[in-house]
Structure 1
Amino acid sequence: MFGSRTDREMVTCIACGERLSRSDAREYDKHGDRWDRRDKTFEYVCKACFGEMSRHPRGDLEATLDAAGAGETDRETFLEQFRELSRSESE
C-alpha cells in the first residue's frame, strides 16, 4: 500500500555516484559476505554498474583498499599507501 522502507530509502551507487532508491540497487559487501547481516552496513551499486562488474576473483583487493584508507583519507595519501601495499604484496 505505502511501499516498504527500502522503496523510500535513497542510496548512492559507489561506482558512478547515481542516487537511486534502495530497492533499485544491488547490495555490495566489500568483505564478500553479504549473507551475514549482523552489525553490517552495505554499500550499493546501481543495476547498470552491477551488470558491468567483473565476477572474477579479486584476491585481497578489498583488504588492500581498506588498509590503504579508501574513503577515509585524502586521494594523495590513499594512492601512496595503496602503491606501497601493492608493492609489498607482489614481492
Structure 2
Amino acid sequence: MFGSRSSRGESVTCIACGESIPRSEAREYDKHGDRWDRRNKTFEHLCKTCFAELCQQPRDGLETTLDAAGAGEADQKTFLRRFRELSEGDARRD
C-alpha cells in the first residue's frame, strides 16, 4: 500500500523543474488521473515547490464564480465561456 521499502532511498526527477530529489521528498503525479490504481504503473514526480505552484488551485470565491457563470443553468458552451471570462478577470485583478 505504501510502496516498497527499497524505493524509499531512491532519487527521482521533478518533471517540472528537472531537479533530482529524494523520492521521500517528492509528490507523485499520475498523468492518467487515477493514482489509486497502482498495478503495472509508474509515476512521474514533482518536487514539493513545483507541486504547490502547479497543482494547488485557489478555491476562494469558487462557488460565487460558478454561480455567476450559470453552473447548472446555462448550456455547457455558455457556462465555460462565462467561467473563463470571470476567472481571467480575477487573474487581472491580482
Tell me which interval the TM-score lies in, with the shorter structure as reference length. 0.5 to 0.7
Q: Which residue of 1 aligns with 2:18?
A: 17
Bigger CA radius of gyration:
2
Q: CA deviation at 1:51?
A: 0.2
Q: CA RMSD in A?
A: 1.4
How many corresponding residue pairs? 53
Residue aligning to 1:49: 50
Gaps of 5+ in 2: 58-94
Normalising to structure 1: TM-score of the pair? 0.53
Once the two structures are TM-superposed, the CA of residue 42 in structure 1 deviates from its matched residue by 0.3
Whole-angstrom distance in 1 between the partners of 2:55 and 2:25:
20
Deviations 1:5-35 (A, max 9, x none): 2331110000000000111000000000000
Q: Which amino acid aligns with 1:51?
A: A
CA 1:20–1:54: 2 relative to 1, 3 Å? closer
SS at match of 2:41: coil
Structure 1 runs (4+) greater than 4 angstroms displaced: none
Any unmatched runs of 5+ in structure 1? 57-91
What is the percent sequence identity of the aligned residues?
64
2:36 pairs with 1:35: yes
- Structure 1 SS opposite 2:40: coil
Higher helix fraction (1 or 2) = 2
Structure 2 counterpart of 1:21, one-letter code:
P
- Pairing of 1:44-83 with structure 2 (within 5 A): 44-55=45-56
